[in-house]
Amino acid sequence: MNLELTDDQRLLKDMVDRFAADVGGLDAHRAAIRSTGGWSEDAWRGLAELGLTAILIDEAAGGLGGGGPELMIVGEAIGRSLLSVPYLDTVVCGGTILAGAPSAVRDRALPGLLDGTSEVALVDSGITAEDGVLTGIALGVGGGGGADRLIVAADDALYLIDCDGAGVTRESYPLHGGGSAADVRLDAVHGERIAAGDDAARLLGQAHDRRMAFLAAEALGAAEGAFQATTDYIKTRVQFGQPLATNQSLQHRAAEMLVEIEQLRSATILAACSLDEPDGDERARIMAAVSIVAAKAAKFVAQQAVQLHGGIGVTEEHVVGHWFLRLTAIALLLDGAAATRTLAGLGGFVSAVPYWEAAA
């Protein structure tokens, strides 16, 4: 599957790719993951200055009104350049929900997200609400340690809370492959309601779909980087007087990596182009199928890249080891097993109309 970009999208891709190549890479990534927050403040500030934190926000809310293709462009560049930024948690998840919040909430919380001075994290489990009072413990909240605000999903509603308020306790820790997460405890915290009922479900579902599409795009970029590094290595590494690339079995394994990457590319394009699918069941079916393909491809490419590099591939000093860590983390986040159960519950990835009826 190919995605034909518009002129504006091609310009965006050129700009994002150049920026990510300039501020990303192995040295920048290693410095970022050793920092307190686990990400690069310079890269995050640069993304905001380029307007990339506003890419998914409707123009009416002060954003650029981008969609799936724009999300794929940014995610792929971040993955390929190992850019360590809280883009997934703050922009993709948090921005999606805040853009749909009532004007009083949106006008207070969204500007800081757009200019890169504020971080947001989504808490979607472990918390209960009673008359807007939030209580409970949420484990493994992505970006939760450094966030200024939390969006909390509890009892069919979404709430916004400030992290420096009374009753909020967080224990932060680094994540496998970069970034950080936190265990969040809320003790009778008053939340500002964003949405409830069907509106809350719609916003949360949109955030989850965009999250999945972004992870697939990031995996594609990381897989491309790992593949290029691997093919360059086996072409130049000499053993017994010949480059490793002359070994036919290694050629076959590199070819299998390329096949998986092309399948991942098609799945990522499908996810990006299906974010606005009006049929909820069909959209859920597509996202589950993409999760399965992306998780499988990420794991396969990561493992082959390390194995073809040999021992150097698992060292911190070599870039392929960091792509391995991130691809492994993405595969876990996509959770192919859960997606398989979801897809099976929806009847599998098949047409709603039998082919013999559709052809009639």
Q: Where are the beta strands (DSSP E) in 192-309?
A: 192-196, 238-239, 242-243
Out of 25-39, 195-209, 233-247, least confident range: 233-247
| Alpha carbon distance 275, 279 (integer Å) | 10
pTM for the whole structure: 0.93
pLDDT digits (tens, 9 = 90+) for 261-310: 999 999 999 999 999 999 988 999 999 999 999 999 999 999 999 999 98
Look up residue 170 and give its two tokens.
Answer: 């967080």
Place of tokens 């790992």: 226
Give the angle subtended at the CA of 261 by the CAs of 285 and 318, to the nearest 5°.
Answer: 125
Out of 33-37, 141-145, 159-163, 198-202, least confident range: 33-37
pLDDT score for 67? 93
**Strand partners for 158:** 153, 195
Look up residue 233 and give its two tokens.
Answer: 């290595």
pLDDT band at 239 (very low <50, low <70, confident <90, very high): confident
pLDDT at 38 over 90: no
pLDDT score for 360? 52
Looking at the chain, the whole-number percentage of residues with pLDDT higher than 90 is: 76
Burial (CB < 10 A; 0-12, 13-18, 19+), residue 174, is: middle
pLDDT digits (tens, 9 = 90+) for 177-210: 888 999 999 999 999 999 999 999 999 999 999 9
pLDDT at 343 over 70: yes
pLDDT at 356 over 60: no
Secondary structure class of 211 (helix, strand, coil): helix
pLDDT digits (tens, 9 = 90+) for 152-168: 999 999 999 999 989 99
Q: What's the rounded mean pLDDT across residues 349-354? A: 57
Domains of the chain: 199-358 (1.20.140.10)
